[in-house]
Amino acid sequence: MATRTRRSQRRTEALSRERIVEAAVELLDTVGESGLTFRALTERLATGTGAIYWHVANKDELLGAATEAVVGAALAVEPVAPTTPAAPADSPPDEIRAVALGLFEAIDDHPWLATQLATQLSRSPWGSVTPRIFDSIGRRVRALGVPEDGWFTATSALVHYVLGAAGQNAANSRADGPPKDRAEFLDDVATAWEELDPDDYPFARAVAGQLRDHDDREQFLAGLDLVLAGITALHPPSKPTHPPHTP
């Protein structure tokens, strides 16, 4: 009995929380949230449920840990190349673009992530994920020169744009029904818009061609630049003051 207990303890120690979360992310990516069960997890990890419960109390905790792991990796990104040759490398706007693009690509790669982030924001904003995203973007907002009384509003605008646009993009690419090639899907939508009544939908008809040809990533970054431009226009960075020159 003592020998079996020691072996069980060694197996539990070898099965780390990190490995469990990694396996949970793999399951979420392949079979979705409904397929993430402790039974499926034990089969993937070739272990017993007790070893998993040693590290994770329930499915909600597991989903939260998986979300935190993916978001943490997404935020550990390199700055996006400056949009203009004159822009300095690693400037706050470029760092914000890097953070935003990291989240955009993470949500695109992990179909379940958008729903989990929305849940985290609305139901448990005191958890680790929401403040981590706000802090990552907010520190760059502060570096833009935004005054302190505008930090929360400016950061909230960026966070909601990034998560909303990325979530909508992911939803569009995984709509219900048979999977379609992206170009075919956009062509179908654009064609439908072009056939709308010109009196009722003049704008939708006018931009149908742009819808057909647009690039999701480029459009996302262009929208982000619009938000950043609005923030910097409302809160232009203060110019440094220099002492008067004395001969």
Q: Are residues 202 and 99 in the same domain?
A: yes
How much is the pLDDT for 37? Answer: 92
Q: Are residues 26 and 136 in the same domain?
A: no
User: Structural domain of residue 171, as residue ranges?
Assistant: 70-234
Output phi, psi for 68, to 5 deg: -60, -40
How much is the pLDDT for 235? Answer: 87
Burial label, 27 (beta-carbon count in 10 A; 0-12, 13-18, 19+): buried
How much is the pLDDT for 76? Answer: 87
Q: Is residue 63 part of a domain?
A: no
Q: Is residue 243 part of a domain?
A: no
Report the candidate in 119, 207, 208 with the shortest Cα–Cα distance to residue 167. 119
Burial label, 48 (beta-carbon count in 10 A; 0-12, 13-18, 19+): middle
Q: Are residues 205 and 125 in the same domain?
A: yes
Q: One digit per residue, pLDDT tens: the chain, 247 residues?
A: 444 444 444 444 468 999 999 999 999 999 999 999 999 999 999 998 889 989 999 999 999 999 999 999 999 865 555 555 555 557 999 999 999 999 999 999 998 999 999 988 888 788 889 999 999 999 999 999 999 999 999 999 999 999 999 998 888 766 544 456 778 888 999 999 999 999 999 999 999 999 998 899 999 999 999 999 999 999 886 654 444 454 4
DSSP secondary structure code for residue 15 in this structure: S
Look up residue 35 and give its two tokens.
Answer: 């397929």
How much is the pLDDT for 207? Answer: 95
Q: Are residues 102 and 161 in the same domain?
A: yes
How much is the pLDDT for 80? Answer: 52
How much is the pLDDT for 124? Answer: 77
Q: Are residues 99 and 9 in the same domain?
A: no
Report the candidate in 15, 171, 37 with the shortest Cα–Cα distance to residue 108. 171
Q: Are residues 154 and 102 in the same domain?
A: yes
How much is the pLDDT for 228? Answer: 96
Q: Are residues 94 and 204 in the same domain?
A: yes
- Cβ atoms of 23 and 45 within 8 Å: the answer is yes
Q: Is residue 61 part of a domain?
A: no
How much is the pLDDT for 9? Answer: 43
Report the candidate in 222, 215, 220 with the shortest Cα–Cα distance to residue 183. 215
Output phi, psi for 182, to 5 deg: -60, -45
Q: Is residue 165 part of a domain?
A: yes
b vs e for 67-78, b when ≥16 Cβ sit within 10 Å of the residue's Cβ?
A: bbbbbeebbebe
How much is the pLDDT for 79? Answer: 54
Q: Is residue 77 part of a domain?
A: yes
Q: Are residues 20 and 102 in the same domain?
A: no
How much is the pLDDT for 4? Answer: 46
Q: Is residue 194 part of a domain?
A: yes
Specify the CATH number for the domain of residue 18: 1.10.10.60
Specify the CATH number for the domain of residue 192: 1.10.357.10
Q: Is residue 246 part of a domain?
A: no
How much is the pLDDT for 5? Answer: 45
Total domains present in the chain: 2
Contacts 24+ apart (CB under 8 A), 183-192: 186/211, 186/212, 186/213, 186/214, 187/212
